[in-house]
Amino acid sequence: MKQLEFSQANAQYLDAADPLKDFRHQFLIPEHNGKQRAYFLGNSLGLQPRNTGSAINAVLQQWAEEGVESFFRGEKPWLDMHASMLGTLSQLAGTKPNEISVMNQLTVNIHLMLVSFYNPSGRRKKILVESKAFPSDQYAVSSFLEHLGLDPDEILIEINSGNENAIISNDDILHAIEKNADELALVFLGGLNYYTGQLFDLESICRSSIAAGAKVGFDLAHAIGNVALKLHNWNADFACWCSYKYLNAGPGAVGAVFIHERHHGNNGLKRLAGWWGHRADERFKMDKHFLPETDATGWQLSTPSMLLYASLKASLDVFEKAGWRNILAKQEIMKAWLSGLIATLGDKHFICLTPDSKGCQVSLLFNTDGRKIYDLLFEKGFMVDWREPNVIRLAPVPLYNTYTEVWQFSQALKEAMLEVYSIDEWTAPNHTHI
């Protein structure tokens, strides 16, 4: 491994050698007083690709010229748009194309997946979840149980670290699965925790859940387009995600689901049906008896929004041109660069909650005055994320962030801490190894 010097000169060297450096220009960067801000919020809302506007306008123009015939005619018939996204999405999710359906939004899809994959029977009624999952996941699962007449307090097994700000040990998750194997109906976890940035060992969780006889599914909102996934090979039953974070498809973007192909022909699975999930070759016969498509699209409900499809497709085109392997390679280096720079600042006034793992996000918990630090960073042009009680989250994204921006952030953070904590001098290492 080579020594990585933490200097502005080395940041510039890394940027010059970056094979993805030109992709930054394919995104619209927020500005303040005519100067681009450093946008580190890909974990919350990804930046807008420059081609998004033209992609949406093309749908509007097609609608204007062809009306409803746009579904069937023209250079890009709307009925073909769904299939055009599956190749790239299947690379990002580690699936077969027929195992993905682009539809609805995340929480709607969680409810739909619970219909199919939560089947309480006898003692096997429990659901294993994170205690600190994103609240919408908790609302969805709890309300779904209440709809079935079940008490969430009796059904849910919550995994926690024992400390609100600590990570959850993977061994603790596996132990909980093994301990409750006879009662578990479903294991449902986030792939990457939104608060700490912790990436769970999804492969071992799948293996342990299957051995316990439980179904297993994931919320991948913070994982898709961020970390390498192999959902098909891991044999997960299902997964859901949104597309407005690392996938850059815009606020309220269309979501997607993964459903392993072993379930596609299972007529015994319950599902909530809709016209768009009916077999396409018989859809317009308007038969009252539902006949689902023989892949993941059989879980679709309503006619999708072509405007939302166009927005997601525009971003996926950028991913396709950049190459998923190239993106992951840069992310690994950029994460080491960011983590190393943060380490040079010491741990007297904050701790890094995020384990040394894959993914763009880093979460910093400050002892005091975290909000003051956040405000100063924003004034200095850095767009990061604030979470109570004292956490700043940031996620430099390989497609549009630079090593120089990360270097500048570390210096701005240092200056903010000097000001807020009245530090007279600074002593810290100036290099690490990657």
- For β-strands 126-130 and 215-219, DSSP reports them as unpaired
pLDDT at 283: 87
Overall pTM > 0.75: yes
- Tell me which residue has tokens 């973007």: 253
**Given this model, what pLDDT does residue 34 score?**
87
The CATH code belonging to domain 3-48+324-433 is 3.90.1150.10
Task: Summarize pLDDT for 255-295 with one digit per residue, the tens.
Answer: 999 999 999 999 889 999 999 999 999 988 888 899 999 99
Tens of pLDDT, residues 378-388: 999 999 999 98
Q: What is the mean pLDDT of each run of 10 residues along the chain (434 residues)?
A: 72 96 97 92 97 97 96 93 98 98 98 98 96 91 97 95 75 95 97 94 98 98 97 98 98 97 94 94 88 95 97 98 97 92 87 88 94 96 93 97 97 94 61 38
Question: Which residue has 């093994």 as its token pair?
Answer: 178
Pairing state of beta strands 38-39 and 382-383? parallel
In this predicted structure, what is the pLDDT of residue 380?
Answer: 94
Tokens of 269: 């699975």
The amino acid occupying position 203 is E
Q: Report pLDDT for 425.
A: 58
* Of 223, 232, 224, 189, nearest in space to 209 by CA: 189
Condensed to tens digits (0 to 9), the pLDDT of residues 181-222 reads: 999 999 999 999 999 999 999 999 999 999 999 999 999 999
State the CATH architecture for 54-321.
Answer: 3-Layer(aba) Sandwich (3.40)
Cα(237)–Cα(228) distance, integer angstroms: 18
Q: How far apart are CA 306 and CA 313, in angstroms?
A: 10
Q: Where are the domains of the chain?
A: 3-48+324-433, 54-321
